[in-house]
Structure 1
Amino acid sequence: MSKYLIATESAPQKDRVLIVSSIVVVALTMALLIAFPDRSKTFADELFNGATKTFGTIVQLLGFVCVVLIGWLAAGKYGNIRLGTDSPEYSNTAWVFMFVCAGLGSATMYWAFTEWAYYYVTPGLNIAASSKEALEFSVAYSFFHWGITPWGFYGIASLAMAYHFHVRRNKGLSLAGIIEAVTGLSAHGVLGRIIDLVFLFATFGGLILTTTLTTSTVAKGLADLVGIEDSFALKAGLVALVTLVFSLSSWIGIGSGMQRLAKLACGLTLAFALVVLVMGPTGFIVNNFANAVGLSLQNFVHMSFFTDPIGDGAFTRDWTVFYWLYWITYTPGVAIFVTRVSKGRTIREVVLAMILGGCGGCWFFFGSLESYAIHQFMHNVVNTPAMLNGLGGEAAVSQLLSNLPLGKLMSVVYFVLMLVFLASHLDATAYTVAATSTKNLREGQDPSPGLRLFWCVMLAILPLGMLYIKAPLSTLKTAVILTAIPFVIILAVKIWGLFKWLREDHDSVAPLPAKY
């Protein structure tokens, strides 16, 4: 281990330059959104189309490569390498639930009811719109967009950061820190400052979509339930409530706060999907789920490389490329968080937990809720595709919930669950942002509670701007993809660095015995 970079011990310190720079960028963005709402929306649409056309194919290729690489790592000789010398700090259930909450936003619960309808009206693979085949492939495409490739992005990014921190023992849980370790460029130089600043701003960009969709859905549902106005004041109040919850959890810490909140969020989410399965059209849900899994696996390669060169490529740009960039936006933050909670785990364990835990959980949740929504559509109860272009997806979710047995009770449970999930996700995100803005953070150390609390408040501000201007889905998507594009290059550097280290350390890092 002597060849590894072992830094001299120094106390963790707040990175004040990075913190102040982030505040300035967020404040300017908020001011522009509020001052020029219409122009911001138009500009966002232009940027979205240009960016997805330019980088689309590259992003699709990168996604497939990540799947191949993590599969090879898990199955090959490096799979038994342990990340750190200590025993695992958390139980298997708590461990998986925590990084699932870090990697999935509460907007997942919105998409789980409505995403199939978008694919039914505008399907991929040049399938005829609004056809029987489009309906069958609608859930399969949801499984594709929330399945193996996204968790492949998370897996490879997390392994690179975890190896950097736990095996190579480099200090600092920051994106610039790992880039310095790979390339030699100073983390505290101009480029390093820019990388970390872009990471922080990208984190805000990803949270815009998650927080805005969640708050809008819950506000609409509560307004319908109790007969009040679906106003900005209601949405702002919900954001304030969620901020209070995850701020309290963040102050308490990972062991007592975040771990319990993650267990509550994931446990209740899976329980809700199980209740829908049991109380809904069980036979149809099971059959549709199995059919969608088969279609998704059978067409995985085609979906991965579908660029639609003969057509206009709108579906691929609007959904697959958008989603891959959406997930890439979260890779730095998820990697930092997974690194923090995965001490003592093997490379194989991380990959299997990502694919089986993360991917499996998403498929079960989406399969149950989407199949129920499709059944409602087929029996002319709730026409979700029509509502998307009229009343909106939030109204569709509200109607679908009300048509469940014990509809009002299920609606309340669902909306509370969305807020809990959002709080858990923001809690994990606040930790990663605080870790990035802390210098000299070493294994076993956490950023200060005060700094975590500060970022809890900051993370709630920018989504309020989007809620205030009533930004459409296209604008929210643009906020995601623009902040994600720089991370395509950074992710490629991290992958190259991981495999470079594995080759160099082959004789120095002893894998665990096979019986481990």
Structure 2
Amino acid sequence: MDSKTTKIYTDKVLAVTSLSFVFILVAGLAMFPSASIEFAAKLMHWTTSVFTTPVLLFTFLSIIFTIALAFSKYGKIRLGEGKPEYSTMSWIFMFILSGIGSSSLYWGFLDWAYYYQTPGLGLAPESQDALKYSVAYSFFHSGVSAWSIYALASISLCYSFHVRKNKGLSLAAIVEAVTGYKATGVVGRVVDVLFLLCMFGALTISLVLTAVTFTNILSLLTGIPNTFMTKVIIILAVSVVFALSSYVGMENGMKRLSHMVCLGVLLFAVYVLCFGPTEFILNNTMMSLGLMASHFVEMSLFTDPMGDGKFTREWTVFYWLWWISYAPGVALFVTRVSKGRTIKEVIFAMVLGGSAGLWFIFGVFENYSVYSFIHGLVNVPNILSTQGGEVAIGQLLNLLPMGKLVMWFFLIVMVIFLAAHMDAVGYAVTATCTRGLEEGQDPSPNARLFWCVMLTLVPIAMIFSHAPLDTMKTATIVTALPFIVIILVQTYGLIKWLKEDYSNIPAHLIEQQHADPVEISDNMQALQHRTESSQPANEQVFESVAPSVKGDAS
């Protein structure tokens, strides 16, 4: 069907239902904070205990599957016709910002301190070994495993949307394409409502944590009181940037924000590297990468059956569920910006590019923080436990040359980072509530603006009502469990489609699809002639592989 005649409309039932659930949840948390905290703690313990092995196994197998797919002949398949819409740098910047929130700047300084106090692999807390492995574990939790989950969720949706040309850019749409359950039916509604609830929860946590860190540092710099109103003003300011970016569209909005953020973060990291303890940062980063690589399988499958399993539950399983909760939203956004890329490009850019980017940022920030702790400059673990991580970050930044200016730059980068991340999440939410989207189409600007407002109201309501953030975190993590099933369904559909479309096509013909059209057409005709007599069904295979090539050749 021609894209001009495709009916695109907002699914008002889905929008109203999801928003109702979100605000009822926030109201319930505000009205019953103690009960919700107690219930959330029990639910989190049960979830991470019962599903420890399945979650670890799912994540480990995600790595194997995505890497094997990239190196197979199917890795050469191009996702849609034509050249890539965005340059490689812009493309990588945009999907990295869709996959990590501005709170990563917070964790970039503090993650190691948690592992120092509560280490894995049976190490003694606050020991020399615990300190030695602290940054390595941070690299592990933000590296290949996490980005493989994103890649696994993204590839199947990219293939469904760009190659199979299935309508709709939502989880329910791909579930319908694989299983036949209608996106507007009961199953489709449940899938999309779960997704929207998870996106609201995850973004709220990131926004509130960023606002708390921002206002604390701002108070240190200016003396402005760290109050509810200050946090609201910060959130509204970020939301204005986010709304403008979303309204003007991907090219003029998200693309420019992503460049500003990534370059700003890189410049900030380079400054810390050059004017901080450069030798220690480089040496400990290298050692931590080596420790992670040499213990990767052990870290991946460490269930601690002889111990209490607390570290695995509260850190590794928690982190994997957190990444899984974000995976569907990332997949929607990656699908939108990856037209013209090959499957191999998407996998390598996500797994290697995403991992390398976070390892560099975390390596610089965390090792600067570790150095400050070792030399008695800032007792990060103690401040983290007694005063809060945002206080520790403020003291660490103030130690650097021109500390006040550094803190201002950090705040500016954090605000733009949050706006860019909100833009990516906002696009995913809007696309989910927009029915009939096809390749090359985007939700309307007015719909994106509406969801910008909704995504802003929830965190403000959370702060105003003093609703427990940890409870929202638990809700987000528990919601991730059904996503494992959904991602497995997506992956089953991908495998099925790859076999139907490309199993009988040699690797060199797949690779040549966008080379010389006449040569490809001749080669395919010859191969088709040889296989027609033994397997007539191959004609359908060839039609699905290169319809555009045959058209060009003719």
| TM more than 0.5 | yes
Distance 2:196 2:204 in 1: 13
Matches within 5 A, 1:57-456: 57-456=53-452
Distance 1:217 1:173 in 2: 34
- The aligned length equals 512
Distance 1:274 1:209 in 2: 28
Alpha-carbon offset, residue 472 of structure 1: 6.1
Distance 1:423 1:401 in 2: 22
Alpha-carbon offset, residue 515 of structure 1: 10
Relative to the length of structure 1, the TM-score reads 0.96
Distance 2:54 2:513 in 1: 37
Please say if residues 201 and 473 of structure 2, whose CA atoms lie closer than 8 Å, have aligned partners that are also in contact. Answer: no
Taking structure 1 as reference, are residues 333 and 204 closer, same or farther at Cα in structure 2, changes over 3 Å only? same
Instruction: Supply the AA of the counterpart residue of 2:363.
Output: G
- Provide the secondary structure at the position in 2 that maps to 1:389: helix
Distance 1:410 1:471 in 2: 32
Please say if residues 26 and 201 of structure 1, whose CA atoms lie closer than 8 Å, have aligned partners that are also in contact. Answer: yes
Please say if residues 15 and 433 of structure 2, whose CA atoms lie closer than 8 Å, have aligned partners that are also in contact. Answer: yes
Partner of 1:511: 510
Question: Is structure 2 residue 35 aligned with structure 1 residue 36?
Answer: no
Please say if residues 101 and 262 of structure 1, whose CA atoms lie closer than 8 Å, have aligned partners that are also in contact. Answer: yes
Q: What whole-Å deviation, never above 9, does each CA across 1:282-318 have from its counterpart, x for those lacking one?
A: 0000000000110111111111101111111111111
Distance 2:296 2:473 in 1: 24
Instruction: Supply the AA of the counterpart residue of 2:482.
Output: P
Which protein has the bigger helix share?
A: 2
Distance 1:276 1:154 in 2: 29
Query: Which of residues 463, 468, 483 in structure 2 aligns to 1:467?
Result: 463
Instruction: Supply the AA of the counterpart residue of 1:200.
Output: L
Question: Does 439-448 or 43-52 show the bigger shift?
Answer: 43-52
Instruction: Supply the AA of the counterpart residue of 2:124.
Output: A
| Coordinate RMSD, CA, aligned | 1.8
Distance 2:3 2:64 in 1: 34
Distance 2:332 2:514 in 1: 29
- Provide the secondary structure at the position in 2 that maps to 1:459: helix
Q: What whole-Å deviation, never above 9, does each CA across 1:332-382 have from its counterpart, x for those lacking one?
A: 111011001000000111011112211110000000000000000000010
- Provide the secondary structure at the position in 2 that maps to 1:85: coil
- Provide the secondary structure at the position in 1 that maps to 2:386: coil
Taking structure 1 as reference, are residues 429 and 375 closer, same or farther at Cα in structure 2, changes over 3 Å only? same
Please say if residues 382 and 400 of structure 1, whose CA atoms lie closer than 8 Å, have aligned partners that are also in contact. Answer: yes
- Provide the secondary structure at the position in 2 that maps to 1:44: helix
Question: Does 88-97 or 496-505 show the bigger shift?
Answer: 496-505
Instruction: Supply the AA of the counterpart residue of 2:70.
Output: A
Larger RCO of the pair (alpha carbons < 8 Å, separation 6+): 1
Taking structure 1 as reference, are residues 256 and 364 closer, same or farther at Cα in structure 2, changes over 3 Å only? same
Please say if residues 6 and 170 of structure 1, whose CA atoms lie closer than 8 Å, have aligned partners that are also in contact. Answer: no
Instruction: Supply the AA of the counterpart residue of 1:251.
Output: Y
Partner of 2:531: none
Please say if residues 89 and 341 of structure 1, whose CA atoms lie closer than 8 Å, have aligned partners that are also in contact. Answer: yes
Larger radius of gyration: 2
- Provide the secondary structure at the position in 1 that maps to 2:225: coil
Alpha-carbon offset, residue 470 of structure 1: 4.7
Alpha-carbon offset, residue 463 of structure 1: 2.1
Instruction: Supply the AA of the counterpart residue of 2:93.
Output: F
- Provide the secondary structure at the position in 1 that maps to 2:387: coil
Distance 1:287 1:39 in 2: 47
Taking structure 1 as reference, are residues 383 and 185 closer, same or farther at Cα in structure 2, changes over 3 Å only? same
Relative to the length of structure 2, the TM-score reads 0.90
Q: What whole-Å deviation, never above 9, does each CA across 1:82-141 have from its counterpart, x for those lacking one?
A: 000121000011000000010110010000000100000100011111111111111100
Please say if residues 322 and 477 of structure 1, whose CA atoms lie closer than 8 Å, have aligned partners that are also in contact. Answer: no
Taking structure 1 as reference, are residues 432 and 376 closer, same or farther at Cα in structure 2, changes over 3 Å only? same
Alpha-carbon offset, residue 473 of structure 1: 6.5
Alpha-carbon offset, residue 34 of structure 1: 2.0
Alpha-carbon offset, residue 488 of structure 1: 1.3
Please say if residues 150 and 331 of structure 2, whose CA atoms lie closer than 8 Å, have aligned partners that are also in contact. Answer: yes
Distance 1:406 1:479 in 2: 41
Please say if residues 165 and 171 of structure 1, whose CA atoms lie closer than 8 Å, have aligned partners that are also in contact. Answer: yes
Alpha-carbon offset, residue 327 of structure 1: 0.6
Alpha-carbon offset, residue 476 of structure 1: 4.8
Q: What whole-Å deviation, never above 9, does each CA across 1:171-196 have from its counterpart, x for those lacking one?
A: 00010010111111111111111111
Distance 2:56 2:294 in 1: 18
Distance 2:212 2:176 in 1: 40
Question: Does 8-17 or 242-251 show the bigger shift?
Answer: 8-17
Please say if residues 83 and 343 of structure 1, whose CA atoms lie closer than 8 Å, have aligned partners that are also in contact. Answer: yes
Alpha-carbon offset, residue 223 of structure 1: 1.1
- Provide the secondary structure at the position in 1 that maps to 2:510: coil
Instruction: Supply the AA of the counterpart residue of 1:314.
Output: K
Please say if residues 243 and 423 of structure 1, whose CA atoms lie closer than 8 Å, have aligned partners that are also in contact. Answer: yes
